[in-house]
Amino acid sequence: MNFEPAEKMKNFEAGIFQILDKKKKELEKQGKKIYNFSVGTPDFETPECVMKAVSEACLHPENYHYSLGETEELLEAVVHRYKKRYHTDIAKNEIMSVYGSQEGMAHIFLPLINPGDIVLLPNPGYPIFSTGAFIAQSNQWFYPLTEENNYLPDFDAIPQDVKEAAKIMVVSYPANPICKTAPDEFYEKLIAFAKENNILIIHDNAYSDIIYDGKEGKSFLSFPGAKEVGVEFYSLSKSYNYTGARMSFVIGNAKVIEVFKRFRSQIDYGIFLPVQAGAVAALYSDDTAVREQCAAYQERRDALCGGLREIGWNIPDSEGTMFAWGPLPKGYDNSNEFVMELMEKTGVICTPGSSFGSLGEGYVRFALVLPPSEIKKAIHSIKESGIIKE
């Protein structure tokens, strides 16, 4: 049989993390010490109350049926969390669950746009934003995030015809990969921009519990008018280390939620009930563990960013997310080639910025997934390798 995949598969080459993992295994076989800062998988433990809730729910046979949606307890827990954490009132018909924000973002465009509709996307940006928009056959228009504009969209620089034609704009702060936060006035401008141009906002809020230097993480939905123009992805993966459970929510505009739910009813039978039970426990828990974990991430940030600057690599302090982002060292201009050389010479693995869009070229991203003691060893390995030029 001479099977040929669909033409669209030319846009789905092997992901950078698979390529890095293959190289990592080769180096490990050679006995190389590896410091893996590539994939953003939390290494902290899931809260005990969450694991206990999942375990107990797994002992009930009826919990192995299709859930067919969110339990009342889960909806009430989300309402409680948004009221307590973000001082924001959410109605139950403004909430739906998805199998993680990655899966939700891959599908949300399908019921909302027609082929050829324009979607505004960040550059640099997390890859699933453009992947989901591509699957829905959109026309993608990338707005640049640059230092000159404080890594925020420049609404005035978007051409008028693009504004008039655009149907959706994807925004995410704290931003992965660039590790920047947005001030309150930005959200006010964003909502006004959306209303003026009849553009739906999709905000990815994965990291509002991992913000540094005393800043308070906020929700897009806590700003007046947000629910009129958009929805927000809210994930339990990073705040509660619930990554493998795949538990996220889309929250906001009731009409968008209804349409997305109706679409998903054709492909989804609901989140596994024990996973929902664990989410309820997480959402009702106090923020002590979340704050302690944020402090631990900040300690790692200080060790990594500060340590690299000490040896001559100018990686600025991350403002938020579980990552750090910075320019290539002097003498390098290709992020893919540099990452491979760094792996070979030091055992340190980070992610090339080009994986996040054209404006990511010339940068790399580090995931803060190793303790400070290991970070110091990694920095020593980099220093000894001579890869950092004076």
The CATH number of 14-43+288-385, from 3.40.190.80, 3.90.1150.10, 1.10.10.60, 3.40.50.300, is 3.90.1150.10
The first and second tokens of residue 132, run together, are 């989901």
The first and second tokens of residue 14, run together, are 């092997």
How much is the pLDDT for 328?
Answer: 97
Contact 211, 319 (CB under 8 A): yes
Q: Which residues contact 298 (CB under 8 A, 6 or more apart)?
A: 212, 213
List C-alpha distances in Å: 389 to 241, 331, 333, 346, 349.
38, 7, 14, 15, 19
How much is the pLDDT for 29?
Answer: 86
Per residue of the chain (390 residues), give pLDDT as tens: 888 888 888 777 666 777 787 878 888 888 889 999 988 889 999 999 999 999 999 999 999 999 999 999 999 999 999 999 999 999 999 999 999 999 999 999 999 999 999 999 999 999 999 999 999 999 999 999 999 999 999 999 999 999 999 999 999 999 999 999 999 999 999 999 999 999 999 999 999 999 999 999 999 999 999 999 999 999 999 999 999 999 999 999 999 999 999 999 999 999 999 999 999 999 999 899 999 999 999 999 999 999 999 999 999 999 999 999 999 999 999 999 999 999 999 999 999 999 999 999 999 999 999 999 999 999 999 999 999 886
Tokens 């897009």: give the residue.
Answer: 220
How much is the pLDDT for 14?
Answer: 63
Identical fold, 14-43+288-385 and 48-284: no
How much is the pLDDT for 25?
Answer: 85
Number of H helices, E strands in the chain: 14, 12
- What CATH code is assigned to 48-284? 3.40.640.10
Residue 7 CB neighbours (<10 A) = 7
**Main-chain dihedrals φ then ψ at residue 202, nearest 5 degrees:** -115, 115
What ranges make up the beta strands (E) of 163-286? 166-171, 200-205, 230-235, 248-252
Q: Domain locations in the chain?
A: 14-43+288-385, 48-284
Q: What is the DSSP letter of 301?
A: H
